[in-house]
């Protein structure tokens, strides 16, 4: 099943923990509020690397999402892997196997994020056991 909606985001960066040889390593916390078929909140813990090339960077993150999906209450965890190579971006967000709780036990799938005119949009392609 595919669901789409929007979310708001609050970013809280830590100071970089390593800056050397043109590489900056840092951590950021994001707090999100989802609207639409996914009515939820989440906390994201991200670790990122920026290079000396302005448009090249990567990040990994873990996010726990708690709320209601299509009327089913529970939580699940997703992992993010994002890369930007001289401006060309790729992003993979995957639901962690067996991370679903409550009515979301057994959830699997992927998520996509797009930012359009400053608004964050999600598409969650997911499956739940019958």
DSSP secondary structure string, 104-121? GTT-EEEEEEEEETTEEE
Q: How confident is the model at residue 87 (pLDDT cuts 50, 70, 90)?
A: confident
* Structural domain range at position 56: 2-77+85-124
Average pLDDT of every residue of the chain: 96
Q: Are 114 and 5 in contact (CB under 8 A)?
A: no
Q: Is residue 31 part of a domain?
A: yes
Number of domains composing the chain: 1
Total-model pTM: 0.93
Q: Is residue 129 part of a domain?
A: no
* pLDDT average, residue stretch 17-27: 95
Q: Is residue 118 part of a domain?
A: yes
What does the alpha-carbon distance between residue 113 and residue 46 come to, in Å, rounded to a whole number? 15
């Amino acid at each position: 099943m595919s669901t789409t909606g929007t979310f708001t985001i609050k970013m809280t960066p830590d100071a970089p923990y390593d800056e050397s040889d043109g590489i900056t390593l840092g951590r950021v916390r994001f707090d999100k509020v989802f609207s639409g078929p996914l009515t939820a909140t989440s906390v994201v813990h991200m670790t990122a690397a920026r290079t000396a090339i302005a448009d090249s960077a990567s990040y990994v993150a873990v996010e726990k999402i708690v709320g209601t999906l299509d009327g089913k209450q529970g939580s699940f965890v997703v992992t993010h892997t994002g890369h930007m190579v001289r401006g060309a971006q790729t992003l993979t967000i995957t639901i962690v196997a067996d991370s679903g709780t409550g009515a979301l036990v057994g959830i699997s799938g992927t998520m996509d994020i797009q930012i359009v005119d400053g608004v964050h949009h999600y598409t969650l392609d997911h499956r739940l056991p019958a």
